Amino acid sequence: MKKKAILYTALLGGALISSTLFLSGCGGSAEASTSGISPQKMADGLHLVMKSDRTIYTRNVVNRLVKQDKVIKASEHWADDKALPLPAQMFRMGAEMVAKEPDAGFSYSLQSIWPINQQNAPKTEAEKIGLQYVIDNPGQNYYAEEELGGVNYFTGVYADTGVAAACIDCHNEHKDSPKTDFKLGDVMGGVVIRIPID
């Protein structure tokens, strides 16, 4: 666990720094400075990267090209429609790729208590409580430990916010959306990150 956590810190937080260090042959010092990272710290770091990528894709690709410049659509059937994949689909493609890595050491998903896709509804107790918690407590994350299938996990739930007009317009207008009055800046769901702990 500790070894994996160290690796992720190097991969995430210090991607640039550590690659410079590795190139100059001082990889060891990058490891030494990040030893003892907690599951929470690791989940927070993972989430920061996910949130940044997700926000940038939505603002600088989807919102700009679909809403402002109106040159392309975003569609659930993006391959057939020659359109942009939805932000949630981009997110899931990444999550699925990680899930194929046997030694990934974490898994993640995008969920909501108002899901367009029922498969994105919370399932475990921690997911249900966590998704409600991030709605009721703006700016705060929810952390829990849960046992699933005989394995103990650290679970972090992070608010997923309507950061661009494209987010709320698409959800409010979608035929399968159980909620149709999202406003800019509303918490629309949450990112769930799960890390096995010993």
Identify the CA nearest to 74 among candidates 191, 159, 162, 171.
171
Contacts 24+ apart (CB under 8 A), 59-63: 59/163, 59/164, 62/86, 62/87, 62/164, 62/166, 63/164, 63/165, 63/166
130 binds ligand HEC (CB under 6 A): no
Letters for 179-198 (x = contact with ligand HEC by CB under 6 A, - = none) are ---------xx---------
Here the tokens at position 137 are 């407590």
User: Judged by CB under 6 A, which stretch of 9-17, 94-102, 145-153, 169-177 contacts ligand HEC?
Assistant: 169-177
Q: Residue 89 in contact with residue 79, Cβ under 8 Å?
A: no
Here the tokens at position 115 are 């899901």
- Nearest distance from residue 94's CB to ligand HEC, in Å? 13
132 binds ligand HEC (CB under 6 A): no
Nearer to ligand HEC, 83 or 144 (CB): 83
- Nearest distance from residue 143's CB to ligand HEC, in Å? 19
Count interface residues toward ligand HEC (CB under 6 A). 27
Here the tokens at position 3 are 């070894």
107 binds ligand HEC (CB under 6 A): no
**Chosen residue from 120, 124, 132, 172 binding ligand HEC by CB under 6 A:** 120
87 binds ligand HEC (CB under 6 A): yes
Q: Residue 155 in contact with residue 144, Cβ under 8 Å?
A: yes
Q: Residue 164 in contact with residue 59, Cβ under 8 Å?
A: yes
109 binds ligand HEC (CB under 6 A): no
List of residues contacting ligand HEC (CB under 6 A): 58, 62, 74, 76, 86-89, 110-112, 115-117, 120, 160-164, 166-167, 170-171, 174, 188-189
